[in-house]
Amino acid sequence: MPRVHIHPVHVEFGDCDPAQIAYFPNFFRWYDAASRHFFESCGVPPWRELERSVGIIGTPVVEANSTFVRPTSYGDSVEVHTWVDEWREKSFVMKYRLMRGGVLLAEGRDVRIFAIRHPDDPSRIKAVPVPEDIRRLCE
């Protein structure tokens, strides 16, 4: 069974469209925040510290999708259940389940990489192999 982190989210009025339903891009914003909180809960230092120590600037998304099951609206308290579903050589798959009171609202998945600044052009990034020490912390 993978390690799961539960990230609470309070849906705000500004998260919703004119029909008062949470606007779908916010689900991806919540997934992204839940991803970072997952790593923190596993004991991984903040990205700015990792950049100073080993050069890793974060885990950018290279692929993302979500299936929306039920709506949510402002005032709702929801939870993003997050885990690493698959470790690969230079990427990993994170999964997300957005829940409200035990009811599934959405399921998401993204593929991420561990990135450093590209040595030839610091305005670009470069994928590096998944650090074994971080993987061990997260399993």
Block residue for tokens 């779908």: 24
pTM of the model: 0.94
Domain 5-138: give its CATH superfamily: Hotdog Thioesterase (3.10.129.10)
Confidence of residue 35 (pLDDT cuts 50, 70, 90): very high
- Whether the CB-CB separation of 126 and 119 falls below 8 Å is answered with yes
Catalytic residue (one of 15, 17, 85, 121):
17
- Reported residue count of the chain is 139
- The answer to whether residue 1 scores a pLDDT higher than 80 is no
Block residue for tokens 């709702």: 76
Q: Let me know how many helices (H) and strands (E) the chain has, helices first.
A: 3, 8
Q: Is 85 a catalytic residue?
A: no
Q: Where exactly are the structural domains of the chain?
A: 5-138
Tens digit of each residue's pLDDT (9 = 90 or more) over 95-137: 999 999 999 999 999 999 999 999 999 899 999 999 999 999 9
Give the list of residues 6+ apart from residue 108 with CB closer than 8 angstroms, or none: 27, 28, 31, 64, 65, 66, 67, 95, 96, 97, 98
